[in-house]
A and B are shown apart, each in its own frame.
Chain A
Amino acid sequence: SQTIHQWPATLVQPVGSPLSLECTVEGTSNPNLYWYRQAAGRGLQLLFYSVGIGQISSEVPQNLSASRPQDRQFILSSKKLLLSDSGFYLCAWSADRRNSPLHFGNGTRLTVT
């Protein structure tokens, strides 16, 4: 069966520090991968998605970037964190089929101080 792993579960970082969140998927190949963010009291916002290695699409301009160095690895990064980057970051995957649902990881709660 397929599983998705995200780490760390929680993270506290100072303003201006770098960020690297990692997500890996097991049990499938060539998945579509997604990064979402949920700010406190707000809905989920799609940040990035990827349909293959090295292929990244950004949904909103921001202080973050994403990379997909391997088929089942998706990384969210920032060179310098802002206070507004605080939130709950969720990675998700889906099979590349028309009606395939997204499956989410357990998320990383990031607090920028």
Chain B
Amino acid sequence: DAKTTQPPSMDCAEGRAANLPCNHSTISGNEYVYWYRQIHSQGPQYIIHGLKNNETNEMASLIITEDRKSSTLILPHATLRDTAVYYCIVRVWGTSYGKLTFGQGTILTVHP
């Protein structure tokens, strides 16, 4: 699976948009970009995923650059409950049947 690079930490004011970047410059054509988050002492929560088109759901938006080498997760109106570790993962459906390989992620802290 392609490796990803994320900033170790970010801050955001409550009510503002949180934009979390991710670089995946070695991504190949059949690899998807997934985002998860993990609140302390809980299991990771699936947020969104995409291949090459921008995606939006009730939690967030995912913007993937045209060359697919980077992406941004956008939380449109961050709340204190969005404080968590956010993981960007590139995943291919291979011999491990779509396993996810987690990196260190970005610690997002939302301030009042």
Contacts and interface: CB of A to CB of B under 8 A. Distances in A.
Interface of A: 32, 34, 43-44, 46, 49, 51, 57, 59, 88, 90, 92, 94, 96, 98-107, 109
Contact of A104 (B44, B51, B98, B104): B44
Q: Interface residues of A: mostly helix, strand, loop or mixed? A: strand
B43 A106 contact: yes
Contacts of B45: 104
Given A90-B43, A107-B42, A101 B49 contact: yes
B103 interface: yes
A101 B34 contact: yes
A106 B46 contact: no
Contacts of A101: 34, 46, 49
Given A32-B98, A46-B101, A105 B93 contact: no
Nearest to B98: A94
Interface in B83-99: 93, 96-99
Contact of B43 (A49, A96, A104): A104
Contact of A103 (B46, B49, B104): B46
B44 A99 contact: no
12 contacts: A43-B102, A43-B103, A43-B105, A46-B100, A49-B97, A51-B97, A90-B43, A92-B43, A94-B98, A101-B34, A102-B98, A109-B41
Nearest to B34: A101
Given A46-B96, A59-B99, A103-B46, 6 more contacts: A34-B99, A92-B43, A102-B98, A104-B43, A104-B46, A106-B43
A49 B99 contact: yes
Given A98-B93, A99-B32, A99-B49, A44 B99 contact: no
